[in-house]
């Protein structure tokens, strides 16, 4: 699989770095600072989830997880640890490339320079920086994409399907568990009381709303 992926990615003008185990992967990420990481969960030393957990302590590089595990628990665990997407084997190369492009696109800089302030937190959308109680809060590229999709529609109900399309793409219209996982993460990081959110509000059965 590594050989096949490398050949296909290089044929499409990607520069490819290969690591055969988790520790090597972390070293390569530190030294080379890649634009995106394809991470298999079944590694010979560390688990893929452990690699992801360690990587997220110092890098917000987009990560697309590859796995033969089909259970939703595995997907949720990987997403909860900071993965930007999850591709289940076997997969088509066109699908994988689309996921990679989407992950890289979501991590790119925004031209907008809007600053949003609430009683609880402050956002600089152009710089992709967030502060809560005067301390900077680190958000993953996917968390930023979801937050921006809400913040740029202040006060408006944004349907679940629209959020999934905006953040993950049109093929994700039914993956509502993505929204639950990432909204929970955003609330933990930004809301004073995540159990009773004041700014990132759920409209049950319909979608979400940002209230300044």
CA gap 46, 176 in Å, rounded: 29
Judgement on whether residues 15 and 37 belong to the same structural domain of the protein? yes
Domain match, 84 and 160 both: no
> What's the domain count of the chain?
2
Higher pLDDT pick, 169 / 32: 32
Of 107, 126, 157, which residue constitutes the final position of a domain? 107
Residue 136: per-residue pLDDT = 93
Residues 48 and 134 in one domain: no
Would you state the pLDDT for residue 24? 95
Q: Are residues 137 and 82 in the same domain?
A: no
Instruction: Give the pLDDT of residue 76.
Output: 81
Q: What is the mean pLDDT of the chain?
A: 87
Q: Which of 17-26, 74-83, 157-166 has the highest mean pLDDT?
A: 17-26
Q: Is the confidence at residue 69, as pLDDT, over 50?
A: yes
Q: How confident is the model at residue 63 (pLDDT cuts 50, 70, 90)?
A: very high
Greater model confidence, 153 or 131? 131
Residue 133 shares a structural domain with residue 169: yes
Residues 93, 170: one domain?
Answer: no
pLDDT for position 82: 83
Tell whether 6 and 102 lie within a shared domain.
yes
Burial of 175 (0-12, 13-18, 19+ CB in 10 A): middle
Half-sphere exposure (CA, 13 Å, Cβ side) for 205? Answer: 0
Q: Do 121 and 93 belong to one domain?
A: no
Q: Is the dihedral of CA 101, 60, 184, 197 positive or negative?
A: negative
Domain boundary among 84, 107, 130: 107
Domain with 127, as residue range(s), is 115-210
Residues 41 and 100 in one domain: yes
- Domain CATH number, residue 206: 1.10.10.10
Domain of 57: which CATH number? 3.40.50.2300
pTM above threshold 0.75: no
Same domain, 83 and 172: no
Residues 98 and 135 in one domain: no
Q: Are residues 76 and 170 in the same domain?
A: no
Question: Over 60: is that where the pLDDT of 183 sits?
Answer: yes
Nearest to 185 by CA among 145, 140, 150, 129: 140
Pick the last residue of a domain from 107, 134, 155.
107
Predicted pLDDT of residue 56: 83
Q: Helical H runs in the chain? A: 2-11, 22-32, 48-55, 72-80, 93-107, 141-151, 160-167, 176-190
Distance CA 25, CA 175 (A): 29
Q: Is 189 exposed, middle or buried (0-12, 13-18, 19+ CB in 10 A)?
A: middle
């Amino acid at each position: 699989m590594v050989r096949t992926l490398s050949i296909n990615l290089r044929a499409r003008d990607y520069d490819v770095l290969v690591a055969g185990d988790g520790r090597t992967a972390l070293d390569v990420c530190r030294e080379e600072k890649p634009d995106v990481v394809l991470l298999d969960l079944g590694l010979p030393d560390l688990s893929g989830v452990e690699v992801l957990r360690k990587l997220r302590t110092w890098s917000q590089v987009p990560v697309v997880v590859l796995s033969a595990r089909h259970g939703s628990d595995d997907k949720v665990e990987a997403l909860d640890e900071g993965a930007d997407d999850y591709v289940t084997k076997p997969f088509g190369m066109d699908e994988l490339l689309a996921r990679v492009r989407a992950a890289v696109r979501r991590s790119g800089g925004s031209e907008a320079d809007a600053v949003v302030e609430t009683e609880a937190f402050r956002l600089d959308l152009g710089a992709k920086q967030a502060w809560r109680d005067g301390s900077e809060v680190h958000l993953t590229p996917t968390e930023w994409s979801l937050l921006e999709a809400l913040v740029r529609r202040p006060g408006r109900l944004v349907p679940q399907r629209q959020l999934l399309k905006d953040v993950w793409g049109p093929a994700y219209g039914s993956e509502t568990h993505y929204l639950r996982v990432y909204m929970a993460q955003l609330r933990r990081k930004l809301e004073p009381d995540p159990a009773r959110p004041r700014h990132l509000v759920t409209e049950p059965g319909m979608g979400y709303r940002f209230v300044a």
